[in-house]
Chains A and B, each alone.
Chain A
Amino acid sequence: MSLRDRFRRERDREGPQGIAVSLRSHNRPGTPRAARRRGISPLLLLAIALSAIFYLLAHYSIIEGVWPVHGIAPGAGSVLFRDAVAWIGWLLLLPALRLLGYRGNWAVVVIPIVIFFLARPALFQLFSDPVYQARGEARFEANALKAERSQLTTILRTYDDERLSSVFEDEVPVLPEPIEAVREATGSDGRPGSRLSSALSVMLAPLAVLLGFVLATRRGALRWFRDHREIPFAAALGIFFVLTTFFVELGRVRGTTPWELFLPIFIGAWAALLADDAYNLARPGAMLAPRRILVLLLYGAIPIVPFLIIRELGLSVVLAGSLATMLLVGTRREWWAGLMLGVWVVLVVAAFNLDTRSQTRLQLAIDPYRDLSTMTVPEAESWAAAMHQFKLFDANILAGGIFGEGPGRGHAETAPNAADDGYITTIAAQWGLLGTLSLVLLYSALIVELLSVAVRERSAFERSLVTGLAMLLAIPFWMSALGGVRAVPLTGVATAFAASGGAKLLASSFAIGIVAAISHRRVEADRLEAAGESMHARPEEQGVQIR
């Protein structure tokens, strides 16, 4: 029965007889104000406008101020094109959602875009730098040419004619082009596939939000997933195992790391399990049933195994942490927290006792600058290689200080993995402590808003799903951010929207689309419910007068 029919029937039965009137939705009696609100709040609009302008100007500043000095990498133009398409795509996403009638929580859509706009220019500088992506000898040579070029451009920019004549006896030499030294290495290292996938993921991320939104708003789509969770779960797990067993080389599949794409599926299956069995899982007696334990292990532990096989310890922590939080929220039993904390402590202790890589990472976080005099030469060399990245991350943070060096400045590109593991230090180099703090607060706001969507949801499945997806964003962010400043060991997990990582960006965008859809459906359902309730109000309270 449509709303209009229900409205008419109520009126026919109880209201005054007379002419038929047609009311617009916002004039319907009893409709809550919150449900009527459809647009983005002015604050969010301001944030998106400010960050969009920031994105453009920061790119401009890098192109004008950094490219001429350092030179550019092969493919810098395509990186710029990619970023331009992404900018347009993210901005078009908002009117697209309006056109689709989106009524949900706008913050969960807008904040990721703001994060992307604020963080992306730093990555743009890294990927357009001639040295950052070079390898081996080419990197060494490109670094020397880049430095030489930088020195010459500084002298040409700042010296007057008299000084220039003191420096150069004859003509001013031609600026060296590091791009030539890099081209060979970057053009033939067998990674064009990964670069293409990275470019596509950045450009397609807004579409992934839309896709997630459209799929999840389709009547019955989430219901089907919940009811048939075995099918997507088995398919994802099967592909995952096949990839990790046969196609992995140094944690990558043909230069890409698609692991993040599987996480939302595992989260969804776990949410479905929780929704169906939350009552029993909240009771220790029932929980210990063998069949239940088997199911818990199947959906909660088996997906973590392939991550351990390929030694993606970070992602295994992310998945385990997300599943654990969902369990906690789904059952609302705090003893789960205690139990899981205990398991976690045991696992951590085991990992740091059995795995030398984990031990090293912990030591690197605590004290990377160990006393060399206490080590043998091979030990010292090994330790120096392990801490190489950390000393450069530290250098990024020190270079940035409080306010940072500005867009593209700060020389973060000299640190390996500055775009992913150490992205927070790249932000620190360019925008300083205050810049990273801004990003941290934005991410915190995103997490809070995602949780707000979860808490408004009445369905157990949707609530658990949103909580899990929120944790999929939150846990990597905190591991990565805190790892960058050596508060915890660095695990190498990617941060959505702020760091490099195509699969993560796509998966997270899709997840945001799903959360937006759930939020939208909840608001729609609330509206209908409120409208339905208003039918029972007395005519004089309905607020519509007909003369």
Chain B
Amino acid sequence: MDVLLNWALRGAYITIGAGAGLWILRWLQVNWRSSSERWTVRIAAVTLLLAGVYTIAHVRLLVQRSAIEEGREIYAVFGDPRRTEMRRAEVRGWMLDCTAREDGALAYYRERDGVVERTYPLGEAGANLIGGGEGPETRDYTIEILFADELRRPGTFMELGALHPAGEDLAVTLCRNVTAEAYEQLARVGRPGAVVVQDASNGAVLAYAATGGPEEPPLGIKRYSPPGSVFKLALSALWWESGMPDDISIPCPAEIEVTSRATISNFGNIGRGMVEGPAGMLIPSCNTAAVWMAQRLREEVGSEAFVEAYRRWGFEPYEEIPPRDSIGDFWRTRSDAWTRRMTPAPSRLRISGRTGDAEWAQLSIGQGPLDVTVVGVSRFVQSIANDGVMLPPTIELDLALDSPRGQRVMRASTAEKLQEAMLQVVERGTGRGAGAIMQGTGWQIGGKTGTAQLAGRADNGWFASIVFDPEGEPRYTVVTLVVGGGGGSGAAATIAGRVARELVREPPVLGGAE
């Protein structure tokens, strides 16, 4: 009723104004030629001109909205009663988790000591993506801030006319329990790190947990690290994509000479004789076998095939100047603010036909001029789990449920071979720690460890994994980075295993639908 009344009143206002406008035009029409008193016509024309000036000035302010709001934001430190009142009075929509149930809300209102406050049940666990925690105002990369417009938008037609409309609920793909578990595991390790969990079939981000204070950029999205041996998945994928033989024996000596002055050795300087195909290389994460494969592939298919394949999998090749601009379509989202702020730094590697042998060998084991982000690796692993179809990640539940269309980046057979190899890595290779945690659940985890060596600093540990349901279908991906956490088979694999176990304890059903 209020809405209708208010629109009727607007209509009356505009009607009278339009009538006045026509009145003036008619007056001018009558008097323009007939009036002997030209000064009145001139003053009337000036009046209309001023009305035009007013309109232009008013429209200019509306057009400059973002600049003005930015200015107000800067000057808000000197006091802004409007902002204070609006923020204190607003009732944003609730942020619901992947189940879309109210009891799984990630942000809602609760009375405390007579004051109703926005409450974030995950606390610090959600501070780096959802909101809340310490310094929520300075974290400009939370859903609470980046989706503020959506959360403030009136949810119903009736609310449109309200003085303080209640905002619309926003259902996100993040699952409360999994996110809490991921953060708890990271906190237990006590090292900086990030965990990203995705639904393999739709790209939904089911959990994101990262350490870092309010002033730091989101670690899982903006921070670079070499991927270490996780990148051997890409090398293996290219091997199979290029039609190279699967049953080939690959030498895995303790070390391999890549140039007259450079050698690459295995972890612990252990030689394994011959390994069977890429899978055989992946299971013990044999560096020397990977170097041999990379050299052989280069001879067979050329450098350009590497460049094209890596680009397809989300790793941007460059020759001289590393790309800095983020790729705009990384996320599947309706929010421009999210796209602007959360598009990750581009995963990138320096590779071309001019790449030297030493650097070529380093790249094959995920070292050298190679920078990736956790979400970048997660998207690549998601494409492996989704039978070769890469989907843009999303945190909006309705988008995740809306049958996303992805892009095939590798053959299904290649993806299957990689899945199988990853299962083997956990069963009898470097990822056994994660497999042990999953025992008794009926689910399986397959993965690949990675240890990124950084000069003068402790190694970063990676674990990129796929969680398989009891029927053997890949359902989720879990990617973990522990900065300075040592080898990937340690803390990173353990965290991934525990997160996966929490994940399958009550597998999330997006939107609560069966």
Contact = CB atoms under 8 A, between A and B. Distances in A.
B102 interface: yes
Which residue of B20, B161, B162 has the most chain A CB atoms within 10 A of its CB atom? B20
A254 interface: no
Contacts of B88: 144, 147-148, 151
A369 B75 contact: yes
A435 B17 contact: yes
A169 B37 CA distance: 76
B91 A154 contact: yes
A225 interface: no
B61 A486 contact: yes
Contacts of A54: 9, 12-13, 16
B481 to A, nearest CB: 36
Nearest to A384: B78
A286 interface: no
B84 interface: yes
Interface in A11-34: none
Nearest to B115: A148
B72 to A, nearest CB: 5
A518 B51 CA distance: 28
Given A158-B91, A448-B24, A411 B50 contact: no
A384 B75 contact: yes
A489 to B, nearest CB: 13
Nearest to B48: A444
Interface string B43-54: 110011011011
Contact of A61 (B5, B43, B85, B155): B5
Contacts of B91: 151, 154-155, 158
B216 to A, nearest CB: 24
B109 A155 contact: yes
Given A406-B161, A441-B24, A482-B53, A381 B2 contact: no
A167 interface: yes
B308 interface: no
Interface stretch (A72-80, A182-190, A244-252, A386-394): A386-394
Contact of A442 (B17, B84, B86, B116): B17
B71 A486 contact: no
B9 A391 contact: no
Interface string B5-16: 111111011111
A444 B89 contact: no
Contacts of A131: 81, 85
A152 B116 contact: yes
A524 to B, nearest CB: 21
Nearest to B88: A147
A474 B43 CA distance: 11
B78 A438 contact: no
A66 B163 contact: yes
Dominant secondary structure at the A interface? helix
B454 interface: no
A394 B68 contact: yes
B18 interface: yes
B166 A414 contact: no
B113 to A, nearest CB: 10
B16 A118 contact: yes
B51 to A, nearest CB: 5
Nearest to A395: B82
Interface centre among A139, A166, A401 (most CB of B within 10 A): A166
Interface string A418-435: 000000000010011111
- From A169, A325, A328, A438, name the one whose CB has the most chain B CB atoms within 10 angstroms: A438
A332 interface: yes
B43 A451 contact: yes
A369 B71 CA distance: 5
A380 B79 CA distance: 13
B163 A143 contact: no
Contacts of B86: 147, 411
B108 interface: yes
Contacts of B89: 146-148, 150-151, 154
B58 A444 contact: no
A368 interface: yes
B165 interface: yes
A405 B6 CA distance: 9
B82 A441 contact: no
B161 to A, nearest CB: 6
B14 A434 contact: yes
B21 interface: yes
Contacts of A50: 12, 15-16
Nearest to A398: B65
Contacts of B84: 143, 147
A163 B105 CA distance: 11
Q: In terms of DSSP, what is the predominant structure of the interface of chain B?
A: helix
B114 interface: yes
Contacts of A447: 43-44, 47
Nearest to A155: B91
Nearest to A449: B27
A496 B155 CA distance: 40
Contact of A437 (B55, B65, B80, B115): B55
B72 A391 contact: yes
A167 B14 CA distance: 42
A150 B163 contact: yes
Interface residues of A, number: 98
A146 B89 CA distance: 8
B73 to A, nearest CB: 10
A388 B163 contact: no
Contact of B6 (A147, A157, A369, A406): A406
A438 B12 CA distance: 10
A157 B59 CA distance: 35
B514 to A, nearest CB: 22
B413 interface: no
Contact of B9 (A58, A69, A452, A454): A58
A439 B82 CA distance: 25
Given A65-B161, A414-B85, A437-B55, A47 B19 contact: yes
A296 interface: no
A485 B54 contact: yes
Contact of B27 (A408, A409, A452): A452
B78 to A, nearest CB: 4
Given A61-B5, A158-B159, A151 B71 contact: no
B110 interface: yes
Contact of A167 (B2, B8, B23, B110): B110
Contacts of B8: 57
Contact of B81 (A58, A143, A332): A143
B111 A167 contact: yes
B35 interface: yes
A54 B2 CA distance: 14
A372 interface: yes
A442 B85 contact: no
A168 B163 contact: no
B509 interface: no
B44 A451 contact: yes
B102 to A, nearest CB: 7
Contacts of A146: 85, 89
B13 A448 contact: no
Contacts of B39: 328-329, 332
A34 to B, nearest CB: 13
9 contacts: A50-B16, A139-B81, A154-B162, A168-B111, A369-B70, A387-B75, A431-B13, A440-B17, A444-B20
Given A392-B80, A433-B58, A435-B13, 20 more contacts: A58-B9, A131-B81, A148-B116, A150-B89, A166-B102, A167-B116, A329-B39, A369-B72, A381-B78, A384-B79, A387-B75, A404-B10, A414-B81, A433-B59, A433-B62, A434-B13, A438-B17, A442-B20, A445-B23, A485-B60
What 6 A-B pairs come out closest when comparing CB atoms? A438-B17, A369-B71, A147-B88, A406-B6, A384-B78, A150-B89
Interface of B: 2, 5-10, 12-21, 23-24, 27, 35, 37, 39-40, 43-44, 47-48, 50-51, 53-62, 65, 67-72, 74-75, 78-82, 84-86, 88-91, 102, 108-111, 114-116, 155, 159, 161-166
